[in-house]
Amino acid sequence: MIVLYATFLAKVYKDSFTSAFPEGFTIAEKLIDGTVASQLVAALLAVSCVTVTFCVNLTMVQDKVNGIRKDLNVSPISRSKIYLGYFLATVLNSLLVNGLALVIGLLYIGKMGWYLSFVDVLWIIIDEILLVLFGSTLSSIISYPLTTQGQMSAVGTIVSAGYGFICGAYMPISNFGSGLQKALSYLPGTYGTSLIKNHMLRGIFEEMESEKLPEELITAIRETLDCNPQFHGNVVNTTQMILIMAGSIVVLGAIFLLMTCLPEKENR
């Protein structure tokens, strides 16, 4: 995915970014490359933090299909603890995979144009953890009732193909129609993507300000890159985005916990 983003989407992002500049306006090439690279890595992590959890969590379904759950069901362990084990394993494995992706992404940004501070990197790690927890709770709920290979394949295909679009990773939500923008403003994934973009690009915008770029232009770029998402006409700041993600994790986690407490026969 990193190679795909860097080779195919980088030029699209760069053309889209430079098209926002007034005719005859120039900007340092390193700043442009750094912006594109940061946007690419942010988009990659926003997608992979969720889609990887779905791939990992399919182990829960695979164990049902292969009959492994029969061995676990006769063990002196409650069903809630078994599903908690699946959940924690999903979180751990997803953090390992996406942690590696983050390291490679930061190396790519360092080559193209580094404008991140130490605090920015720490926030990006926190964003990644929030996204993985969000993906793990969501994938646990969706994967819980699945019982066949066909269902597994269908869910994996739909999530892998569709999530990147609805969260604004493949294409900024600002490019969508107003109706779709309003609909997507109700999805937590929209703010998860914007959150990691804000922290990835904070140093970029600070450098633009130091280069005396017009404030109107910087604001337009922020909006184009989905760094100023709106809900009912009000801009959602990063603190609110964190609260939205944390609240979504708590709600989804409570739903999954409730599902695991239901009698097995009610889930079939």
Tens of pLDDT, residue by residue over 81-105, are 888 888 999 999 999 999 999 999 9
Q: Are 167 and 187 contacting, i.e. CB atoms less than 8 angstroms apart? A: yes
* CA-based nearest residue to 85, from 136, 146, 145, 135: 136
The reply to whether 11 falls in a domain is: yes
Token pair for 39: 């946007």
The reply to whether 112 falls in a domain is: yes
Q: Domain total for the chain?
A: 1
List C-alpha distances in Å: 195 to 2, 26, 39, 171: 20, 28, 12, 16
The reply to whether 20 falls in a domain is: yes
The reply to whether 268 falls in a domain is: no
Q: What is the pLDDT of residues 136-169, one digit of tens each?
A: 999 889 888 887 777 877 887 788 778 878 887 7
Average pLDDT score over residue span 108-126: 93
Judged against a pLDDT cut of 50, whether residue 22 lies above it is answered with: yes
Question: Would the pTM count as exceeding 0.85?
Answer: yes
The reply to whether 267 falls in a domain is: no
What is the residue range of 167's domain?
A: 2-262
Q: What is the pLDDT of residues 40-66, one digit of tens each?
A: 899 889 999 998 998 888 888 888 878
The reply to whether 146 falls in a domain is: yes
Judged against a pLDDT cut of 50, whether residue 266 lies above it is answered with: no
